[in-house]
Amino acid sequence: MKAIVATGYGSPDVLRLQEVPTPTPKAKEVRIRIHATTVTAGDCELRRFEMPALFWLPLRLFVGVTKPRVGILGQELSGEIDAVGEDVTRFKKGDQVFGPTEVSFGAHAEYICLPESYAIATRPASMSHEEAAGISVGGLNALYFIRRADIKRGEEVLINGAGGSIGTLAVQMAKSLAAVVTAVDSTTKLEMLRSVGADHVIDYTREDFTQRAGAYDVVFDIVGKSSFSGSLKALKPKGRYVLANFSVSGAVRGLWVSMTGTKKVIQGLAPYRSEDLVHLKELIEGGRLKAVIDKRYPLEQTEEAHRYVETGGKRGNVVITVGPTASHDGVS
* pLDDT score, position 329: 43
* pLDDT score, position 11: 96
Per-residue pLDDT band at 330 (split at 50, 70, 90): very low
Radius of gyration from C-alpha coordinates of the chain? 20
C-beta separation of 230 from 204 below 8 A: no
Q: How do residues 37-80 score in pLDDT, each as one tens digit?
A: 999 999 999 999 987 776 777 888 888 888 888 899 999 999 99
Q: How do residues 250-269 score in pLDDT, each as one tens digit?
A: 777 878 888 888 999 999 89
User: What is the rounded (10 degree) CA torsion for 217, 278, 323, 311?
Assistant: 10
pLDDT above 80: residue 226: yes
Summarize the confidence of residues 128-157 as an average pLDDT: 97
Please report, as a single letter, which amino acid is at residue 62.
F
Summarize the confidence of residues 20-26 as an average pLDDT: 97
| Cα(243)–Cα(285) distance, integer angstroms | 29
User: What is the rounded (10 degree) CA torsion for 134, 136, 137, 140?
Assistant: 140
* pLDDT score, position 331: 42
Count other C-beta atoms under 10 Å from residue 69's C-beta. Answer: 12
* pLDDT score, position 324: 55
Per-residue pLDDT band at 186 (split at 50, 70, 90): very high
| Cα(157)–Cα(66) distance, integer angstroms | 43
Per-residue pLDDT band at 149 (split at 50, 70, 90): very high
Q: How do residues 273-328 score in pLDDT, each as one tens digit?
A: 999 999 999 999 999 999 999 999 999 999 999 999 999 999 999 999 997 544 44
Summarize the confidence of residues 247-252 as an average pLDDT: 73
Q: Is 27 left (phi over 0), alpha (psi -120 to 50) or beta?
A: alpha
Regarding pTM above 0.75, the answer is: yes
* pLDDT score, position 278: 96
* pLDDT score, position 326: 45
pLDDT above 60: residue 246: yes
Per-residue pLDDT band at 225 (split at 50, 70, 90): confident
Q: Which domains does the chain have, with CATH numbers?
A: 2-135+291-321 (3.90.180.10), 137-266 (3.40.50.720)
Coil/strand/helix, residue 313: coil
